[in-house]
Chains A and B, each alone.
Chain A
Amino acid sequence: MSEQKAKFAELQTAIDKHKEEKGALMPVLQAAQGIFGCVPMDVQEYIAEALDTTLSEVYGVATFYSQFSLQPKGKYVIGVCMGTACYVRGAQKVLDRVEKELNAETGATTKDGQFTIQSTRCLGACGLAPVMMINDEVFGRLTEDEIPGILDKYKI
């Protein structure tokens, strides 16, 4: 529980930093997403209170932007780029293979909590299409056959 306490303390620091700025809610939510890995209801309530706004306002913003998630994500977040350049070079096959290998659908987290599969918007690495990211690491010029080998490195 003390870990949770430390996280809220960290959030409070972020709130203090942004509180006086105009439009503080976005940077605060972004900080919360970074600290907790998601913005669950108790965090949203805390933010609403601290910024002197309503929970409905916070919830409205948190659910509008795809960067914020209400549920925790897996240890490794896999983002398969579904930008146009990647799509015409076969990104769908890459995504299908990731789903098949991990036995989970896009948007879902594997049962062991290790992987979350996402189809992302253009990562801007079109020269390397098709591209996928696992956390901050980028894999480019992919073929579907490379997927199992890449995933194996992350499996326990």
Chain B
Amino acid sequence: MDFYRAQVLICGGTGCTSSGATNIIERFEEQIQKNGLDKEVKIVRTGCFGLCEAGPVVIVYPEGTFYSRVRADDVEEIVNEHLIKGRIVQHLVYKDKGHEDEHHLALEEIDFYKKQKRIALRNCGVIDPENIDEYIAFDGYKGLAKALTEMKPEDVIQTVLDSGLRGRGGAGFPTGLKWKFAAASKADQKYMVCNADEGDPGAFMDRSVLEGDPHAVVEAMTIAGYAIGATEGYVYVRAEYPIAVKRLEIAIEQAREYGLLGKNIFGSGFDFDLFVRLGAGAFVCGEETALMASIEGLRGEPRPKPPFPAVKGLFDAPTNINNVETFANVPQIIINGADWFKSIGTEKSTGTKVFALGGKINNTGLVEIPMGTKLREIIFDIGGGIPNGKKFKAVQTGGPSGGCIPSELLDVPIEYDTLTQIGSMMGSGGMIVMDEDNCMVDIARFFLDFTVDESCGKCTPCRIGTKRMLEILERIVKGRGKEGDIEKLEALAKNIKATALCGLGQTAPNPVLSTLQYFRSEYEAHIKEKRCPAHHCQALLNYSITDKCRGCTACVKVCPVAAITGSVKEKHVIDAAKCIKCGSCVEKCRFGAIEKR
């Protein structure tokens, strides 16, 4: 292996790639070549560093200097100053808000990373995901070696059971127990499946693991296959994740070359091979029985359980399905033991959880925190609070199956059970922050719109029930809400939850129920007073012209219904009866004189 005096790590996750990381890499290669540094400096394209807000991100080792929002034109300066002269380019170094004078922050000193604990993301942003040797150098395939050469399948299951690891896809079923059930089924052929059909809007944890550390999933699936007696595995990935698919395919190919997949792995007599299957854009395929139908080449419709997949799953054979993040924890649990994993997190929710932090928050990105961390710590300490001095209103977890959590519950520790108690759920890990400008009724409508669109149509409660709920919500945000609408929503929600066939339908009413529970007054204001307290719902806004008006007549010309009157250099007036609330005048006004309320 070659040794380099410096390494330049460039984030190659989707966020940074979208904001120009590929150009930056090319520019670095060009500059390194030009200055004859190619034997001294190595360029590594890694997975996601997590702090997407600061992207594109470049880290230079050995110093560990964290450069943020780098542009291709900055590359020459970094090469000339940092790599040649050894001087850190201060103006590109990431600075914490409020500590702008503290230069040269290393990764672990940055507020965003301080409270994090990385297990599933341990290699993301650290290694080159397309190089198996780098993974092996970071204890890669050590867990597999230990499992195959020192442990019996039942020991592997017991270790995972003792670790308390629960499914990271959302529902939190104990992973070890799932494996135990699948192991107990007798069959000639069993399957191991990885659910990478990450469909929750606002969630990208699984994608980052696949992009940043694909071998961890390959290794974990092989360990799990050994534990339950499966010889074949499928990874079902969203087609919308081209980088993840490519890196996963490279990883599988490399593992085959090294004999870490295929026949007689580590001379143990155990055979295992993996295949990638692409999703085709159906949210319901995240449900395990629908996912299996999709791999079989059918419409991705769920079926009733039992029989559970552990008994009758893919191609009617016993099957175990786990989510990407769940798998990413497994090799570490095997290497370090159940007690180590249990020492992190809380009694009933052990280990860590990855969240995709987004929405109205300063530090958007990917965070991994020990279970039991408070929501407040994630949003204000790690996430850096709400931008533009706005007030925090709610945080949404669990995607279309979850709920909105208000500020008075921010001190609740993050655990599977506590989140369910307060009407939300862990979900796969999307965490969207909303501020005072977001209307909670409209957010509920947004999620219902998603569910209606993604409902597979197989069962009546979900197909028709969610549609009726959406119609009521659309009516409310358009100012046509009626007395009794809230009660109707509640009754529909209760029935859909009790009778829908699969998880999609059973949890679809949650965004409505949780916003009704915590923000009922907003619903009432829409229905009774025809008013949107967040000034968001277009149909409920009233436009008026303030004293800032200079009488330029620009708004008069743009108004499509001639609702604005006034003479030149005098304050204009909007006729509320004529106004159709299109907002054209607000866009046109150069003086900020038109107010929406």
Which residue on A lies nearest to B203, using beta carbons? A122
Do B358 and A129 have beta carbons less than 8 Å apart? Answer: yes
Residues on A with C-beta less than 8 A from B294 are 26
A123 contacts chain B at the CB level, 8 A cutoff: yes
Kindly state whether residue B201 has any CB partner on chain A within 8 Å.
Answer: yes
Contacting residues, chain A, for B119 (C-beta < 8 A)? none
- Among B240, B300, B365, B456, chain A packs the most CB atoms within 10 A around the CB of B240
In the assembled complex, the Cα of A67 lies from the Cα of B40 at a distance in Å of 46
Instruction: Tell me the chain A residues, 46-85 only, with Cβ under 8 Å from chain B.
Output: 60-61, 64-68, 82-85
CB of B360 within 8 Å of the partner chain:
yes
Residues of B within 8 A of A138 (CB): 17-19
Q: Are B18 and A131 in contact (CB under 8 A)?
A: yes
| Interface pair A128/B18, CB less than 8 Å apart | yes
Chain A residues with CB under 8 A of B281: 65-67, 121
Q: Which partner residue on chain B sits nearest A25 by CB separation?
A: B297
Task: Decide yes or no: A65 and B204 within 8 Å by CB, A84-B446, A88-B359, A131-B18 being known contacts.
Answer: no
B201 touches A65 (CB 8 A): no
Q: Is the CB of B399 within 8 A of A126?
A: no
**Interchain CB contact under 8 A, B358 and A26:** no
How many chain B residues touch A (CB < 8 A): the figure is 53
Cα of A60 to Cα of B435 in the assembled complex, Å = 42
The answer to the question of A149 belonging to the interface, with a C-beta cut-off of 8 Å to chain B, is no
Restricting to B12-35, which residues have a CB under 8 Å from any CB of A?
14-15, 17-19
Report the bound CA distance from A84 to B400 in whole Å: 9
Contact of A64 among B282, B295, B438 (CB under 8 A): B282
Residue from B18, B280, B430, B446 in contact with A87 in the complex, judged by beta carbons closer than 8 Å: B446
Given contacts A25-B297, A140-B19, whether A128 and B280 have CB atoms under 8 Å apart is no
Name which residue of chain B comes closest to A24, CB basis: B297
Partner of A121, one of B17, B201, B298: B201
Sort chain A's interface into a size bin. 35 or more
Given known A-B contacts A60-B299, A84-B430, A129-B359, A124 and B14 have beta carbons under 8 A apart: yes
Partner of B356, one of A24, A27, A126: A126
Given A23-B297, A128-B18, A129-B358; A121-B283 close (CB under 8 Å): yes
Question: Does chain A have a CB within 8 A of B202?
Answer: yes
- Bound-complex Cα distance A7 to B434 (A): 48
Chain B 431-473 against A: per-residue CB contact (8 Å), 1 yes, 0 no? 0111000100001001100100000100000000000000000
Q: Looking across the interface, which residue of chain B has its beta carbon closest to that of A53?
A: B297
Q: Which of B18, B360, B396, B438 contacts A125 (CB 8 A)?
A: B18
**Do A127 and B364 touch (CB < 8 A)?**
yes
Asked if A110 is at the interface (CB within 8 A of a chain B CB), the reply is no
A27 in contact with B282 (CB, 8 Å): no
Contact B204 A84 (CB under 8 A): no
Distance between A15 CB and nearest chain B CB, rounded to angstroms: 13
Q: What are the interface flags for B243-258 relative to A under an 8 Å C-beta threshold, 1 for contact and 0 otherwise?
A: 0000000000000000
Question: A85 CA to B432 CA in the complex, in Å?
Answer: 6
Q: Which residue of B lies closest to A120 (CB)?
A: B240
Q: Say whether, besides A61-B297, A88-B359, A125 and B15 are in contact (CB < 8 Å).
A: yes
Given A26-B277, A123-B240, A126-B204, list of 13 further CB < 8 A pairs?
A22-B297, A23-B296, A24-B297, A64-B299, A64-B456, A84-B399, A84-B432, A85-B358, A85-B359, A88-B359, A88-B438, A89-B359, A124-B240
5 A-B pairs closest in CB distance: A127-B52, A85-B358, A23-B297, A138-B18, A65-B280
| Interface CB pairs A-B, < 8 A, 5 | A26-B297, A65-B281, A84-B430, A127-B55, A138-B19
